[in-house]
Amino acid sequence: MVETYNQLKDSTKKFNHVKIEINKDGTYSEIYWWDNQKEKQDLLDYAEVFYIWANERIMSMIFEYEKDNNLVPTQYDSDGDLEYLSSWDSGKFTFHINEKNTLEYKIVLTIDGKERVLDLPLKDYFVEGLLEHYKITNTELSDEWKPWNTMILKSNHNDIPHDKRNEFVNYILE
């Protein structure tokens, strides 16, 4: 089934539902079909948790970038092993899709009440993912999702709880 799905996923014969009937005599039949409502629900479910993916990816990129550029404070633990300390307590990540459908962004990190802008180059996969999220939520999901072109994530350097999403994630139209 997985092999058939992968072969057909980009064709007019794509499917997201399968019904297999097995008869007592060992014969069987397979019915494949596409359910547009399921496709839309899957898109909506993913869009509603996109911010989790974005926050995790940004935190990872920040650490990688700062480590590579010797911006992460370190110390030795009691065993004499090098330990990386956090270079920020909270962050505000602003992503804006402009009229040319290109991404503009600003990463502001705060530690001990002091803010700094991090000139972090974003990975291509992240930019592509954010632009795809923008496109899907503003077209295919436009009847479910308010129009937006700016997403602001407030990160406390950890996961954003789904029940507090409105405190940490803001989509606005500028």
17 and 86 both lie in a single domain: no
* C-alpha to C-alpha distance for 31 and 39, rounded to whole angstroms: 18
Q: How far is CA 82 from CA 65, 75, 77, 168, in A?
A: 18, 6, 6, 32
122 and 165 both lie in a single domain: yes
Residue 16: pLDDT band by 50, 70, 90 thresholds? confident
Q: Which domain holds residue 55?
A: 40-172
19 and 82 both lie in a single domain: no
Does residue 47 have a pLDDT over 90? yes
Instruction: Provide φ and ψ at 9, rounded to 5°.
Output: -60, -25
123 and 166 both lie in a single domain: yes
57 and 127 both lie in a single domain: yes
Does residue 114 have a pLDDT over 90? yes
Tallying the residues shown for the chain, one arrives at 174
63 and 21 both lie in a single domain: no
Q: Average pLDDT of 67-75?
A: 91
Q: Are 135 and 148 in contact (CB under 8 A)?
A: no
Quote the pTM value.
0.80
The pLDDT, as a whole number, for residue 61 is: 97
The pLDDT, as a whole number, for residue 136 is: 96
Structure tokens at 97: 């899709």
Structure tokens at 79: 């065993």
30-34, 75-79, 114-118: range with highest mean pLDDT: 114-118
The total of structural domains in the chain comes to 2
The pLDDT, as a whole number, for residue 7 is: 84
Residue recorded with tokens 């009937």? 21
Share of the chain above pLDDT 70, in %: 100
27 and 85 both lie in a single domain: no
84 and 16 both lie in a single domain: no
59 and 99 both lie in a single domain: yes
Picking from 6, 33, 3, 38, the residue whose alpha carbon sits closest to that of residue 20 is 33
85 and 52 both lie in a single domain: yes
Structure tokens at 22: 């097995």
Q: Average pLDDT of 90-101?
A: 96
